[in-house]
Amino acid sequence: MATPSADAHAGAGAAPEQALLRALRSRALRHLARREHSRAELRARLLLQLQAAQRRSEAQAAAAAAAATRAGTPSPPGQPVRRPADAANPAAPVDPGQWPALVDRLLDRLEQTGLLSDTRTAASVLRQQAARGGLRRIRQAMQAKGLDAALVAEAVEQARGSEFERAWALWQRRFGEPPPDARERARQMRFLAARGFEADTVRRVLRRAGDPQADDELG
């Protein structure tokens, strides 16, 4: 049976972790309030913020120690230097090796309560990117957020049906007239390709625009 002293020790060890979890949750909710995040994206962001806070805390501690030394009042041997940043850095009392597990624990809770969803993030990225570009851009944007390959493939397939019409609408807004020469044809094709449309889609757009030589480009 655990002794009161053992229980107190366990409670003292858990307190910093709970404080860190509360701080992480607050940060995560601020990020999610701005826009949808994938789990991988939010995980990386939270860990980077913890690392940045730790570096600031260490820099301030070093500055405080240097100032004390210059003033002729160094800390007594064995006494830790006061860290001015610790109050703003809840991660300070927690071993950095525990950070990833604590972040994952928080993310599990956010997913269980529906506050974090890779499916919603994929749908959000699809809406945003489909309005601006083609399948390659959609795929790259989703992969950059660390979304599961199956979600990425499903979203790309969903966008495939409207790929040509989206490319045509973009071409009309940007150009509206068929290219008069090879130089302009190449420029229009590069424009669409740079926005993630596949070569066959680009050729179809130029053919619809009345350019019979569109197949000669983007071979």
Q: How confident is the model at residue 173 (pLDDT cuts 50, 70, 90)?
A: very high
Instruction: Provide the whole-model pTM.
Output: 0.76
Beta carbons of 171 and 203 less than 8 angstroms apart: no
Please say whether the dihedral angle defined by the alpha carbons of residues 154, 155, 160 and 161, taken in this order, is positive or negative.
Answer: positive
- Write out the DSSP string of 41-92: HHHHHHHHHHHHHHHHHHHHHHHHHHHHHHTT-PPPTTPPPP-TTGGG-TTT
Q: How confident is the model at residue 13 (pLDDT cuts 50, 70, 90)?
A: low
Q: Give the Cα separation of 79 and 188 in Å (integer).
A: 69
pLDDT of residue 7: 47
User: Looking at this protein, which amino acid is placed at residue 60?
Assistant: Q
- What pLDDT, in 10s, does the model give residues 93-107? 778 899 999 999 999
Q: Which two tokens stand for residue 34?
A: 């701005």
Q: Give the Cα separation of 52 and 87 in Å (integer).
A: 15
- What pLDDT, in 10s, does the model give residues 41-96? 999 999 999 999 888 877 887 888 788 777 776 555 555 544 333 444 555 577 88
Of all residues in the chain, the percent with pLDDT exceeding 70 is 81
Average pLDDT over residues 196-208: 95
Q: Give the Cα separation of 106 and 89 in Å (integer).
A: 17
Q: How confident is the model at residue 214 (pLDDT cuts 50, 70, 90)?
A: low
pLDDT of residue 129: 94
Beta carbons of 217 and 184 less than 8 angstroms apart: no
175-184 — which CB contacts under 8 Å span 24+ positions? 175/209, 177/209, 178/206, 178/209, 178/210, 178/211, 179/206, 179/209, 179/211, 182/213
Q: Which residue is associated with the tokens 């150009």? A: 175
- What pLDDT, in 10s, does the model give residues 122-160? 999 999 999 999 999 999 999 999 999 999 999 999 999
DSSP class of 212:
T
Average pLDDT over residues 169-180: 94
Residue 10: is it exposed, middle or buried by C-beta count within 10 angstroms (0-12/13-18/19+)? exposed
Beta carbons of 32 and 120 less than 8 angstroms apart: no
Higher per-residue pLDDT: 208 or 53: 208
- Write out the DSSP string of 104-124: HHHHHHHHHTTS--HHHHHHH
Helical axes 118-130 vs 135-144, angle rounded to 10°: 140
Higher per-residue pLDDT: 219 or 70: 70
pLDDT of residue 53: 85
